[in-house]
Structure 1
Amino acid sequence: MKALVVKSTGLWYEVLAENKRLVARLRGKFKLEDKKVTNPIAAGDWVEVEANQQVDGEWVITQIYERENYVIRESPRKKGHDHLIASNIDQGVLIVTLKKPRTSTGFIDRFLITLESFRIPGVILFNKRDLYNEREIERFEELKSIYQDVGYEVHLCQFEKEVEPIVSELFRNKTSLLCGHSGAGKSTLINRLIPHASQEVKEISDFANKGVHTTTFAEMFFLDDKSAIIDTPGIKELGLSEIEPEELSHYFPEMRNYLGQCKFHNCLHENEPGCRVKEAIGDTISQLRYDGYLSILREEDNRK
């Protein structure tokens, strides 16, 4: 029968089928479009399962259904491999903090780029409003203006105190991917939106007493029968996957507007003459975003 993957430990999967949570393992080897991945299945995937005739209460995944989209990153642990974060999402939501911990604009840009490859809408939630001084509030307003002008929704929040109604509504009737550094407030937000989530975390972590290991895999929680959040463990770095240098500007919406207008068709918008992107810096393209583009092009550390 058809089932939705709600959690993966890398060896075992929890799936939801016919309103029942089942424990399943993978049969055989599956590939993601012939790419080297550390995990062939992620939260949000639809799969086919059948009962294991040899082990009572255990199910086997026999098929992975075609994905509408997915979010992927370079594996932080296995060189030359990618890591599938989540599949079949309606929007990506990034939790950002200006302090304790600080989220770099490089990290923000890389997250948005991973969404742009499938034109997945992106939302940026700046958390820990109560910790910001006047200078940091000004910094937020500057970043809000930059990212809103590009087309992303941006909000200032304080999850420890409350979740604003406008933020709660962001998650209604959608499957949302939630991402951010450890300590940014992802768990706090989930527990505010879904009061039973903390108990659900405990129950899922011990499912079937199979010896769950520490994992970098995502997990799905449900607000209601039409709304779900895929929570990801805290990410320190976000290495981009599947993007060639000449394609990078395609994933910056403000640069994409100038596609095909440069003097050279293979322009990287770095040192080439007749570059329309460089001409637009300070006008329709912010200096901050352009500097971020160059940082990614040169494969610099995304934590700076």
Structure 2
Amino acid sequence: MKALVYKSTGSWYTVKSEAGEFLNARIKGVFRIEDITSTNPLAVGDWVNIETEEGAEGTAVIDEIFPRSNYINRQSPRVKYQQHIIAANLDQSVLIATLKEPRTSRGFIDRFLVVCEMYHVPAILLFNKTDIYREKELGIYEELSAIYRSLGYRVDSVSVQKKQGLEELDRLLQDKTTLISGHSGVGKSSLINSLLPGEGIKTQDVSGWSGKGMHTTTFATMYDLPGGGRIIDTPGIRELAITNLDREELSHYFPEMRERLKDCRYNNCMHVNEPKCAVKQAVADGDIDEKRYISYLNILDSLDEQKGY
């Protein structure tokens, strides 16, 4: 019987059969999926085959995983050189960002977008807590919106407190499987509670001494939306370390760089010190945002550190 993974707690999984029944399931044997090595063999969003167990009501055994259309991963927080798959079979992802209490860094946004580009998952930027923005933050929001929209990304704003932008968000999520992610403290749980009345997902304030959010979600969990579609709530991410990426490939995942690569003098141009570099010229001309270019250099450095350069 075919089923969809809704939650992973390590050794046990919550799955929903095509008949609509939720079951607790465990893995039979060891999975190797398309030679992907990860710290978690199964992820939320995976389609699997299950066999119910005789004499054990409400439980099943997972004996097959079906091919993934895509997935999003990160560097494993426990095993430095392995990946951890956050979720699979996604139609889109939503990164919840804030410009105040706490502030989401440009570097974090750009890293998230690179990961989405790597695995062909359309990304949406959603700026939350607009009710506490003042003139400074509103100006930054307009600036960032213009930059990321020019690159083809959808950018929206929302205020859970004032219930602004929620109807539009509902329409964006309808009939799609969407990964919801963001820093701890950006209001992700409050936002999901507004979409799922009655679920009562735990929320927690930003810690006063650090200005950083506290983790409130321990495991990735999928929820069915009342109007159709599914969302996957992920643990709050403090840092997003990229894995499975060669430094030579990085510029291909910056849309504004990708369209200029053919104009560089050298085919293997890294856009750092090389002469006649079309990317560096575009930065100098103001056609590529300088802070996006700095994000590129920072990610490049982090990839070098991973490989021990």
TM-score, length of structure 1 as denominator length = 0.90
Partner of 1:297: 300
Partner of 1:101: 102
Whole-angstrom distance in 1 between the partners of 2:147 and 2:221: 31
Deviations 1:130-183 (A, max 9, x none): 222211111111111111111111112211221422222111121110000111
Deviation at 1:194, TM superposition (A): 1.4
Q: Which has the higher contact order (CA 8 A, sep 6+)?
A: 1
Partner of 2:173: 171
Partner of 1:253: 255
Deviations 1:206-252 (A, max 9, x none): xxxxxxxx985311011147411011010001111111100001111
Tell me the amino acid that sits aligned with residue 115 of structure 1.
Answer: C
Aligned length: 288
Whole-angstrom distance in 2 between the partners of 1:16 and 1:225: 18
Tell me the amino acid that sits aligned with residue 263 of structure 1.
Answer: R
Whole-angstrom distance in 2 between the partners of 1:242 and 1:67: 17
The 1:170–1:134 alpha-carbon spacing in structure 2 relative to 1, beyond 3 Å, is same
Partner of 1:124: 125
Partner of 2:266: 264
Tell me the amino acid that sits aligned with residue 294 of structure 2.
Answer: D
Deviation at 1:118, TM superposition (A): 2.6
**Unmatched segments (≥5 aa) in structure 2:** 204-215, 304-309
The 1:287–1:157 alpha-carbon spacing in structure 2 relative to 1, beyond 3 Å, is same
1:27-38 map, 5 Å = 27-38=28-39
Whole-angstrom distance in 2 between the partners of 1:138 and 1:225: 34
Preserved contact between residue 100 and residue 137 of structure 2 (Cα < 8 Å): no
Whole-angstrom distance in 1 between the partners of 2:182 and 2:52: 37
The 1:221–1:163 alpha-carbon spacing in structure 2 relative to 1, beyond 3 Å, is farther
**Unmatched segments (≥5 aa) in structure 1:** 202-213
The 1:160–1:225 alpha-carbon spacing in structure 2 relative to 1, beyond 3 Å, is closer
- 1:156 matched to 2:160: no
Whole-angstrom distance in 2 between the partners of 1:229 and 1:187: 12
Preserved contact between residue 115 and residue 122 of structure 1 (Cα < 8 Å): yes
The 1:248–1:199 alpha-carbon spacing in structure 2 relative to 1, beyond 3 Å, is closer
Preserved contact between residue 10 and residue 215 of structure 1 (Cα < 8 Å): no
Match of 2:290 among 281, 287, 290: 287
Partner of 1:210: none
Preserved contact between residue 50 and residue 60 of structure 1 (Cα < 8 Å): yes
Whole-angstrom distance in 2 between the partners of 1:216 and 1:34: 27
Whole-angstrom distance in 1 between the partners of 2:101 and 2:47: 37
For 1:237, what is the secondary structure of its paired residue?
coil
Deviations 1:173-214 (A, max 9, x none): 21110000111111111111111222799xxxxxxxxxxxx9
Percent sequence identity over aligned pairs: 50
1:43-192 map, 5 Å = 43-53=44-54, 55-164=56-165, 165-192=167-194
The 1:238–1:199 alpha-carbon spacing in structure 2 relative to 1, beyond 3 Å, is closer
Whole-angstrom distance in 2 between the partners of 1:83 and 1:247: 20
Tell me the amino acid that sits aligned with residue 287 of structure 2.
Answer: T
Preserved contact between residue 7 and residue 13 of structure 1 (Cα < 8 Å): yes
Partner of 2:306: none
Deviation at 1:56, TM superposition (A): 4.4
Partner of 1:209: none
Whole-angstrom distance in 2 between the partners of 1:26 and 1:217: 17
For 1:238, what is the secondary structure of its paired residue?
coil
Backbone CA RMSD of aligned residues: 2.0
Partner of 1:244: 246
Partner of 1:21: 22
